């Protein structure tokens, strides 16, 4: 085992599953390394360490957790972080912290630690209308503080790197791009068929795996379906994800009213939040995965679709173009353009077939082996540069 020790402070947030899945994908990739290359990962749970996600994270071969992880210990760690943020000099009282590289670190409040910073994306700066003034100010201040450090900042795409250089041209932090890949594994055909029967899904459908936040742009997809319905083409769609937007409480009710007004009720299936295992089967069954988002740091949805060999129909934002550049099973449409998406769907739908496609899954799994090892080794090299 490598002598490198990584400390991951994990706070599980049901409203931001992407962050949790990011950590899960990282641990899976590191665990795929030969044993003599694996770093030691110390999980520091700041939230409940007994949830299904926490149990999955603790089960990875690369993971080591402090003995006796409990809700009480998680609360104690949150208190410790609050104290250290007010008095960073007290970090010296925790000698173990000085021997570890902390990741992901979202702020510069503990500069005495070996921090590997992470800014997932620059959405508050690129799409300021989606945030209130206070949240924009807080988030921009945190980004600016990181930019002023002498540390290393992980960014999830070259599109994000371009944004960083635009908004913080005088930054002293060292930005590095590290892209994750999904590590989803396909199940059996029987598992997929059970999921289809359980939810009474159409034999052929498109899948959208996003929370119902405004920037995910379900509105463009639903309008595209309306345009196609007027032409006589009815395409079934399955949607999963949190059906609320805390920044825009009226957003989801407005979407539902539009669906009813356009008589799309019977062709759109809303499943809400589903388990990760259930989501895998929906990806596998889908004729294609639609990702209409206006903004992403690095799309987990696209990575999941790639891991299972499913076709992708995505908006042409820079990060999607970057992410799909080497993926043949993809189609790009103009972002927030219902007519453009309708045209793309009308062209693609007759050529698509429902899954699971065992041949494509096998080929995708084979590609993923090398990609996962390459990403893991790149991350270890990155941590070494900080250590």
CATH of the domain at 23: 3.40.50.2000
Residue 35 belongs to a domain = yes
**Which domain range does residue 228 map to?**
189-355
Asked if 280 and 317 sit in the same domain, the reply is yes
Residue 275 lies inside a defined structural domain of this protein = yes
Question: Under DSSP, is residue 84 helix (H, G, I), strand (E, B) or coil?
Answer: helix
* The pLDDT value given to residue 51: 84
Q: What share of the chain is helix, strand, coil (3-state, %, to 5)?
A: 50, 15, 35
Cα-flanking dihedrals φ and ψ of residue 52, to 5°?
-55, -40
Nearest to 192 by CA among 176, 182, 213, 207: 207
Are residues 152 and 223 part of one domain? no
> 336 and 205 in one domain?
yes
Residue 312 and residue 193 share a domain: yes
Mean of pLDDT over the chain: 89
Lowest mean pLDDT among 9-23, 215-229, 351-365: 9-23
CA distance 283 to 98: 42
pTM: 0.88
Q: For residues 264 and 218, state if they share a domain.
A: yes
Domains: count for the chain = 2
| pLDDT band of 91, cuts 50, 70, 90 | low
> What pLDDT digit, counting tens, does each position of 148-185 carry?
999 999 999 999 999 999 999 999 999 999 999 998 88
207 within a domain of the structure (yes/no): yes
Q: Residue 297 in contact with residue 156, Cβ under 8 Å?
A: yes
The mean pLDDT value for 352-364 works out to: 93
Residue 178 belongs to a domain: yes
Task: Extract the tokens encoding 367.
Answer: 């590609």
Q: In what order do the strands lie in the sheet with 174-177?
A: 63-65, 40-45, 5-10, 101-105, 114-118, 152-155, 174-177
Statement to judge: residues 246 and 157 lie in one domain: no
Rounded CA separation 120/124 (Å):
11
Q: Are 129 and 257 part of one and the same domain?
A: no
User: Which element (helix H / strand E) includes 333?
Assistant: strand 330-333
Say yes or no: 137 and 162 in one domain. Answer: yes
Task: Say yes or no: 133 and 218 in one domain.
Answer: no
Predicted confidence band at 284 (pLDDT cuts at 50, 70, 90)? very high
């Amino acid at each position: 085992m490598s002598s490198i020790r990584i400390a991951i402070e994990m706070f599980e947030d049901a409203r931001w599953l992407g962050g949790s899945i990011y950590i899960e994908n990282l641990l899976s990739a590191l665990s795929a390394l030969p044993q003599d290359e694996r770093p030691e990962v110390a999980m520091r749970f700041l939230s409940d360490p007994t949830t299904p996600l926490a149990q999955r994270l603790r089960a990875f071969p690369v993971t080591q957790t402090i003995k006796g992880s409990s809700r009480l210990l998680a609360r104690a760690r949150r208190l410790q972080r609050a104290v250290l943020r007010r008095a960073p000099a007290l970090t010296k009282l925790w000698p173990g912290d000085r021997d570890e590289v902390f990741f992901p670190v979202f702020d510069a409040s503990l500069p005495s630690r070996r921090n590997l910073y992470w800014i997932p994306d620059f959405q508050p700066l690129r799409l300021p209308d989606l945030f209130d003034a206070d949240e924009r100010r807080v988030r921009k201040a945190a980004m600016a503080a990181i930019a002023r450090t002498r540390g290393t900042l992980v960014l999830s795409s070259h599109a994000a790197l371009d944004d960083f250089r635009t908004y913080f041209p005088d930054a002293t932090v060292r930005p590095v791009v590290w892209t994750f890949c999904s590590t989803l594994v396909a199940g059996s055909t029987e598992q997929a068929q059970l999921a289809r029967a359980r939810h009474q899904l159409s034999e052929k459908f498109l899948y959208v795996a996003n929370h119902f936040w405004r920037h995910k742009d379900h509105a463009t997809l639903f309008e595209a379906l309306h345009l196609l319905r007027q032409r006589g083409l009815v395409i079934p769609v399955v949607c999963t994800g949190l059906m609320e937007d805390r920044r825009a409480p009226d957003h989801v009710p407005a979407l539902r009213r539009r669906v009813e007004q356009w008589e799309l009720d019977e062709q759109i299936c809303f499943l809400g939040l589903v388990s990760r295992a259930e989501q895998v089967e929906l990806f596998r069954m889908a004729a294609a995965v639609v990702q209409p988002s206006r903004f992403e740091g690095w799309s987990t949805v696209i990575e999941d679709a790639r891991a299972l060999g499913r076709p992708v129909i995505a908006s042409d934002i820079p990060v999607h173009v970057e992410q799909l550049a080497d993926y043949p099973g993809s189609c790009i449409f103009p972002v927030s353009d219902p007519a453009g998406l309708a045209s793309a769907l009308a062209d693609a739908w007759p050529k698509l077939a429902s899954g699971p496609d065992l041949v494509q899954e096998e080929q995708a799994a084979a590609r993923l082996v090398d990609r996962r090892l390459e990403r893991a080794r790149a991350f270890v090299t990155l941590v070494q540069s900080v250590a």
